[in-house]
Amino acid sequence: MNSLQLAQLLTQKYKTETHKPKNISRNQNYLTPNIRPTETYIYQSTRATLHSNKGSILDISSMTVNTILGQNDPWVKANLIAYLQSDRPSFLSTRFGSEYYYKTARLIAKHSFIDNPVVNHRQCNGSDATELAILAAYNASSKPHKTLISFYGSYHGQNLTSYFVSDLQRHNIFLVNNTQANIKFFHPPTNEIAENQILENIHHLRKFTFGIILEPIQVNNNIYTFSQRFLQKLKALCDQEDIALIFDEIQTAYGWLGKMTASEYFNVKPNITALSKGITSGFGPLAAIVANKKYQEIPYGTGEKTNGADIRSLVASTAVYQRLLGIPESQIPHNLPDYLHQELSTGLLAKVPQKSRIITHYTNKIQKTFSPKDLKITGLLLLCGLTFTDKSKAQKAYQLLMDQNIYIRLSANTLIIKPALTINDQELSYALEKIFITLKQILPHSQAPNIPKPATQQLKPHYSHLSTLF
């Protein structure tokens, strides 16, 4: 009996109806309080819709950061099932290569927007990737008294290095003496004068500075977006002064800006990029750094061995790249329904402009209805923030939306809209309309303007013929 036959015998076990958690309030006590869910549980999910004991919930924030393809993407799943059904290796240490080990590295490198790229992909989380990026930069530098530059409002994760280099995590530094850490923070600039001042200050520190780490968009800092002008000047300064420019693209890569990376969107080539989350769209643990060859030496004992990339995550990741970029005709199975064939061959990045038009329609309406004293729109394209002046109102809006089964993310004063690319136009419009109506309940407003809606595409029977794939 092979695993497919065995799996068929187990099908009943995973049938949706039989998959409701029991004794929720008792079982919650098995979890630490910070990861204890509410009593809402999800028993089925497709794209951006989650079916729960509280009804259907629309996820407008891609599970708060990472599922660029939403839930249960059939292409990724089909590839995983097919891979698992084979007798190819299920795990390998980095001593051995295999097709997907190389294939994923090639894809990450090719779409990284870095010159002469090398990849370290690892079965780890984003925090470890930012740490490794800093280590690679540190290792390559021969400067004395090495200093790293970071920005206030930054968030780079949850390990010791991240605590030191993220402004928002510095309160977590404990156990270690931080007097040795040579990290300099700058305020994210709010205008060109401030930008030039920072560049001048960095110039003063150039003899000691080995690296600068930043998120092109600081999602946890009310979606603060660095200007293209600043990033380009910063890059020129880094090139001139032999400083490694590190982009933490854990929030910005994989499609929300209509490109594979923010680097590509801003047309700025960093020396090292940290990636994770969207890389498998939630289908497995994987993070990576891509670095210019100059930064390829990683000290012995880090970024290797048991952290070798999990093969299933590599398979998932290549499928995610294919979904975003489009799949060559020769690799698409025959006899798929036309709409599915078209979506697989075109790739989802092509859908970003249309979805962005829908979001812009509502953000224009919001800007015309509410005072900028109460609410500002931040972010770009499908990574968009509603930043409240009054944090308690942001919390109220969040709660009201959750009560209406719209799952949005709240970070600091900002409600974050970051939908999966598989959300359909109707779902997106529906959620944005609910957000607009909710804002009207909370904030003083003028008459809503009559702005013509962009044409939306008809609701498609998306993957309703999925079973024909398998």
Interacting residues toward ligand PLP by CB under 6 A? 65, 125-127, 130, 155-158, 215, 248, 250-251, 276
The conformation of residue 388, written as its DSSP 8-state character, comes to E
**Beta carbons of 365 and 435 less than 8 angstroms apart:** no
Q: Please, which residues have CB within 8 angstroms of residue 28's CB and are 6 or more apart in sequence?
A: 36, 37
Q: E strand or H helix at 343, and its extent? A: helix 338-346
Nearer to ligand PLP, 251 or 405 (CB): 251
Q: Please, which residues have CB within 8 angstroms of residue 457's CB and are 6 or more apart in sequence?
A: 354, 424, 425
Nearer to ligand PLP, 251 or 318 (CB): 251
Nearer to ligand PLP, 185 or 339 (CB): 185
Nearer to ligand PLP, 273 or 429 (CB): 273
Tell the smallest beta-carbon distance from residue 141 to ligand PLP (Å). Answer: 22
The conformation of residue 454, written as its DSSP 8-state character, comes to P
The whole-angstrom separation of Cα 278 and Cα 275 is 8
Strand pairing report for 209-214 and 183-186: unpaired
Tell the smallest beta-carbon distance from residue 122 to ligand PLP (Å). Answer: 11
The beta-strand segments (E) located in 11-62 are 42-46, 49-52, 55-59
Nearer to ligand PLP, 155 or 163 (CB): 155
Residue 58 main-chain phi, psi, to 5 deg: -95, 125
Nearer to ligand PLP, 155 or 266 (CB): 155
Tell the smallest beta-carbon distance from residue 82 to ligand PLP (Å). Answer: 27
Tell the smallest beta-carbon distance from residue 428 to ligand PLP (Å). Answer: 23
Tell the smallest beta-carbon distance from residue 248 to ligand PLP (Å). Answer: 5
**Comparing C-alpha atoms, which of 279, 299, 298, 296 is closest to residue 287?**
279
Q: How many CB atoms lie within 10 A of CB 255?
A: 28
**Comparing C-alpha atoms, which of 235, 193, 197 is closest to residue 214?**
235
Q: Which residue is nearest to ligand PLP (CB)?
A: 126
Strand pairing report for 147-151 and 183-186: parallel
Q: How many CB atoms lie within 10 A of CB 442?
A: 18
Tell the smallest beta-carbon distance from residue 374 to ligand PLP (Å). Answer: 27
The whole-angstrom separation of Cα 273 and Cα 248 is 6
The whole-angstrom separation of Cα 124 and Cα 441 is 43
Nearer to ligand PLP, 64 or 139 (CB): 64
Tell the smallest beta-carbon distance from residue 100 to ligand PLP (Å). Answer: 21
Nearer to ligand PLP, 169 or 424 (CB): 169
